[in-house]
């Protein structure tokens, strides 16, 4: 009887709208060209790279992932996966990043953020994205004789106090970077997946006026000790401006329909709708102004395959809060596309069914349009020439009656 009552109580909790308090984001650094960090100042100990032009092999700097020459070039087409936006902070063979010579500078470097206002905020926490080449026997830990332990560490201090660690990543006994929780500089958690950004976080204790955040790392291995960070965020516990009652997604022919309603709203400016295919970052596809509590949004050109829709609420002061994410899959048979060769050193050909597409665009990893092509909708292929472009990651967008199809292209 007790078990049944507990089960019914759990079900009632799931059906009750979320009210009260939630973690609200108030600061971020996405490493983009504008709006990052959202407040305060970012100060790296150094920012340099070698050689003089991409692809880079020795570095500690802010960059587009496609400009890096990664060790395992066959994995993920030689690029990081799961990052936010266009740019990240990355490091490899850091001691040689100054001029290409080993030990030209320290392999221990850092990025520090200062003057982050936390006045009046409680229940603070941190989240960030971390990635690296994490094949076995890549990194050195605190038991490696004569070696400094390779690491990635995030620390904080409040009002000039003592630095405290939030996230500690050290090599484990198979020499892969993993969370370290005992202070022995040997990882004891699950290793990070290679080249896949993973979110890690921790609670910040204490309160005050100004917070400093610091990322520090050590990586001196030539060619394979590669690490990266992205999308650092700070949160506080505050009252939700919106109580979301329901968020549903459904198909309407070849369109996606998003419906949601709220139980209460306070200081709500409106909502943003983001979409992802599950492999890439979320991109904003629409805005909905605050209204009477019942909302709809149509995505008339969904992606072929999985579409992840993220609903975000925006306060009057511009603060964004992620409410919920739902997935909807489309099998747009007419939209099947093959691209070859990929990777390519010159011409790339996209083949598709006739009567589907009528234009193509080529974008770089920053979203800049590099080439465009228009053709009759009776065409079954289109060719784009990449021979004059730098090595790295590009995107081909096909547009037509079934919607848009975005394809990754790698220039080698």
Enter the tokens of residue 393.
């990651």
Enter the tokens of residue 234.
């700070």
Enter the tokens of residue 288.
């909905």
Predicted pLDDT of residue 402: 65
- Residue ranges of the chain that CATH labels 2.60.120.200: 21-238
Of the listed ranges 5-9, 30-34, 50-54, 62-66, the one predicted with least confidence? 5-9
Element (H, E) at 330: strand 320-330
Q: Report the C-alpha dihedral over residues 82, 86, 89, 95, rounded to 10 degrees.
A: 110
Predicted pLDDT of residue 332: 63
CB atoms within 10 A of CB 400: 19
Structure pTM? Answer: 0.59
Share of the chain above pLDDT 70, in %: 89
Of 76, 81, 156, 159, nearest in space to 124 by CA:
156
244: left (phi over 0), alpha (psi -120 to 50) or beta: beta
Work out the average pLDDT over 263-276: 92
More confident residue, 2 or 375: 375
CATH topology of domain 21-238: Jelly Rolls (2.60.120)
Q: Radius of gyration (Cα) for the chain, nearest Å?
A: 24
Predicted pLDDT of residue 187: 94
Of the listed ranges 30-44, 140-154, 241-255, the one predicted with least confidence? 140-154
- Is 106's pLDDT higher than 50? yes
Contact criterion met (CB below 8 Å) for 256 and 309: yes
Contact criterion met (CB below 8 Å) for 285 and 299: yes
- Residue ranges of the chain that CATH labels 2.60.40.10: 241-330
DSSP state letter for 344? B
Phi and psi at 85, nearest 5°, equal 70, -145
Name the 3-class secondary structure at 102. Answer: coil
Predicted pLDDT of residue 57: 93
356 preceded by a cis bond (ω within 30 of 0): no
Predicted pLDDT of residue 17: 36
Work out the average pLDDT over 38-60: 95
Predicted pLDDT of residue 281: 72
Contact criterion met (CB below 8 Å) for 390 and 365: no
CATH topology of domain 241-330: Immunoglobulin-like (2.60.40)
- Residue ranges of the chain that CATH labels 2.60.40.1220: 333-411
> How confident is residue 242, by pLDDT bands cut at 50, 70 and 90?
confident
Contact criterion met (CB below 8 Å) for 326 and 247: yes
CATH architecture of 333-411: Sandwich (2.60)
Predicted pLDDT of residue 147: 72
Determine the distance from the C-alpha atom of residue 377 to the mean position of all C-alpha atoms in its chain, rounded to a whole number: 36
Enter the tokens of residue 342.
């990929």
């Amino acid at each position: 009887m007790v078990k049944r009552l507990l089960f019914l109580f759990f079900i009632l909790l799931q059906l009750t709208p979320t009210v009260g308090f939630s973690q609200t984001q108030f600061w971020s650094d996405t490493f983009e060209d504008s709006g990052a960090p959202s407040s305060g100042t970012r100060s790296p100990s150094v920012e340099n790279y070698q050689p003089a032009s991409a692809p880079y092999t020795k570095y500690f700097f802010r960059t587009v992932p496609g400009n890096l020459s990664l060790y395992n070039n066959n994995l993920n087409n030689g690029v990081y996966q799961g990052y936010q936006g266009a740019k990240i902070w990355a490091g490899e063979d850091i001691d040689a990043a100054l001029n290409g010579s080993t030990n030209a500078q320290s392999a221990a470097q850092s990025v520090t953020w200062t003057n982050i206002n936390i006045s009046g905020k409680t229940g603070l926490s941190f989240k960030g994205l971390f990635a690296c080449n994490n094949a076995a026997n890549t990194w050195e830990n605190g038991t490696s004789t004569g070696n400094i332990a390779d690491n990635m560490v995030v620390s904080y201090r409040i009002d000039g106090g003592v630095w405290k660690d939030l996230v500690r990543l050290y090599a484990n006994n198979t020499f892969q970077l993993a969370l370290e929780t005992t202070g022995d500089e040997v990882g004891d958690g699950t290793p990070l997946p290679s080249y896949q950004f993973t979110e890690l976080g921790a609670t910040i204790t204490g309160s005050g006026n100004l917070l400093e955040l610091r990322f520090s790392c050590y990586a001196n291995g030539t060619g394979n000790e590669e690490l990266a960070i992205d999308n650092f965020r700070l949160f506080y516990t505050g009252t939700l401006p919106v109580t979301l009652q329901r968020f549903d997604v459904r198909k309407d022919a070849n369109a996606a329909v998003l419906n949601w309603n709220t139980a209460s709203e306070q200081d709500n400016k409106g909502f943003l709708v983001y979409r992802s295919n599950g492999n890439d970052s979320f991109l904003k596809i629409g805005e909905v102004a605050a209204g009477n509590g019942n909302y709809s949004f149509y995505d008339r050109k969904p992606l072929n395959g999985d579409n992840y829709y993220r609903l975000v609420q925006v306060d009057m002061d511009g603060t964004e809060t992620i409410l919920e994410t739902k997935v909807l899959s489309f099998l747009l048979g007419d939209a099947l596309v093959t691209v070859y060769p990929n990777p390519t050193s010159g011409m790339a050909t996209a083949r598709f069914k006739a009567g589907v597409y009528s234009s193509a665009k080529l974008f770089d990893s920053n979203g800049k349009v590099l080439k465009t092509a228009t053709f009759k909708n009776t065409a079954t292929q289109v060719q784009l020439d990449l021979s004059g472009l730098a090595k790295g990651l590009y995107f081909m967008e096909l547009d037509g009656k079934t919607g848009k199809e975005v394809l990754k292209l790698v220039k080698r």
